[in-house]
């Protein structure tokens, strides 16, 4: 199997969003019956969506998908996560069962959820075949003392990510809400962001799953040691992902780049997707124009990455649990932006198709209630 990846091609393949569609959207905003700038942030979002769609009037969002990449990390064995926190396999199962917060909210907002197991530390057959058939390995190495994965595994995971981007673009997905699941993943993200930004470990090490001061000091030392291992390979992004990333990080990076190639907009979630976006920016500097930051999670590394990417979070909610919850909570804003800016007839048509016949529940009247007394 050929596992080589030519990263240089992405820089030339990623185009800028359509400026003419953006300008047309901005003119359309001025023509609407409203005060100038009266819709605030929705106006910028609508214009951005017009530019990534390459069309004006913008098309309403009707096929958003939450995409969750899952993988465990060897550094979790050092105790860098909150004791007693649910394991990755358990959390993935909750998403599949529809009981996890991301599944509940996705149902509420009309988005599909897809989970991809890249490196969950679980026996084969734990999840349905469509979830785990692309697993690269079980877990990863301890990045403070060894490589997370081999270079071949990094290339394999990267290619899986690009293939998933093609699948989503070809299936008609019009917006991806990017999520992640994995024990130790915020530690890995802090290492990558700290190394790429040249920042001290303490400045990028956050509380992750809700750790106390003692665990934070362990996590900080782990980030520091892993950053030392990252320095020799900072100029080679695939080698960097193999050394201090993991299969899920490599797949997300590949997905982000190929999504930009395929002109598929992506909303980033927490510190993990921010770290992968930072790696992807090193490969194709125009790629961040196809992304938006869903929300600020409160992780210091995420803030540094978004600053380097010149992305401003749409909301400041402090949601740090991963799964794509933070990105998903931005979906109503993006839907509001497109619905307000789109052709009203098209919005009405879609609402009629998606609403369907519904019988409202009959509630007792006040007279009936009082009569029962």
Cα→Cα distances 213→79, 190, 202, 206, 208, Å: 12, 17, 12, 10, 12
The one-character DSSP state at 87 is P
Give the end-to-end CA distance of the chain in Å, rounded to a whole number: 76
Side-chain-facing half-sphere of 175: CA atoms under 13 Å: 31
CA 186, CA 272: separation in Å to the nearest integer?
6
Cα→Cα distances 266→64, 254, 256, Å: 10, 13, 8
Residue tagged 């920016």 (tokens) = 281
Nearest to 245, CA basis, from 280, 216, 199: 280
The reply to whether 323 belongs to the active site is yes
Strand arrangement of the beta sheet that strand 291-293 belongs to: 112-119, 64-71, 175-181, 266-268, 291-293
Helix (H) or strand (E) holding 268: strand 266-268
Q: What are phi and psi of 187, to 5 degrees?
A: -65, -45
Residues 6+ apart with CB under 8 A from 112: 63, 64, 65, 66, 106
Nearest to 75, CA basis, from 324, 197, 210, 245: 245
Contact criterion met (CB below 8 Å) for 185 and 219: no
- DSSP states of 318-343 as a string? ---S-TTHHHHTTHHHHHHHHHHHS-
Give the residues across from 65 on adjacent strands. 112, 176
Side-chain-facing half-sphere of 33: CA atoms under 13 Å: 0
Contact criterion met (CB below 8 Å) for 173 and 61: no
Q: Which of 44, 168, 289, 323 is catalytic?
A: 323
Residues labelled as active-site residues: 323
């Amino acid at each position: 199997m050929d596992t080589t990846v030519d990263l240089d091609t992405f820089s030339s393949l990623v185009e800028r969003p359509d400026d003419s569609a953006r300008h047309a959207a901005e003119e359309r905003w001025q023509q609407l019956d409203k005060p100038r700038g009266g819709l605030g942030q929705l106006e910028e979002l609508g214009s951005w969506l017009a530019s990534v769609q390459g069309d004006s009037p913008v098309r309403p969002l009707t096929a958003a998908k939450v995409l969750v990449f899952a993988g465990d990390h060897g550094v979790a064995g050092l105790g860098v996560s909150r004791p007693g926190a649910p394991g990755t396999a358990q959390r993935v199962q909750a998403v599949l069962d529809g009981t996890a917060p991301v599944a509940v909210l996705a149902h509420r907002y009309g988005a599909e959820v897809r989970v991809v197991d890249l490196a969950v530390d679980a026996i084969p057959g734990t999840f349905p075949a469509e979830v785990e058939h692309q697993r690269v390995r079980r877990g990863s190495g301890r990045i403070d003392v060894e490589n997370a994965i081999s270079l071949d595994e990094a290339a394999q995971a990267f290619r899986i990510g690009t293939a998933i981007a093609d699948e989503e673009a070809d299936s008609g997905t019009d917006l991806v809400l990017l999520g992640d699941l994995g024990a130790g993943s915020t530690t890995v993200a802090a290492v990558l962001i700290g190394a790429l930004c040249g920042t001290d470990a303490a400045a990028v090490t956050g509380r992750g799953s809700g750790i106390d001061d003692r665990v934070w000091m362990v996590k900080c030392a782990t980030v520091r040691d892993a950053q030392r291992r990252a320095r020799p390979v900072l100029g080679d992004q695939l080698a960097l992902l193999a050394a201090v990333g993991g299969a899920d990080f490599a797949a997300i990076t590949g997905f982000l780049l190929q999504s930009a190639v395929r002109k598929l907009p992506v909303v980033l979630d927490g510190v993990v997707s921010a770290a992968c976006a930072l790696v992807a920016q090193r490969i194709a500097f125009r790629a961040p124009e196809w992304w938006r930051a869903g929300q600020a999670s409160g992780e210091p590394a995420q803030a540094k990455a978004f600053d380097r990417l010149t992305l401003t979070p749409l909301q400041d909610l402090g949601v740090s649990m991963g799964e794509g919850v933070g990105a998903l909570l931005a979906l109503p804003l993006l839907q509001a932006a497109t619905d307000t800016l789109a052709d009203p007839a098209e919005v009405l048509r879609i609402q009629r198709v998606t609403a369907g016949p519904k019988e409202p529940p009959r509630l007792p009247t006040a007279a009936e209630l009082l009569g029962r007394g």
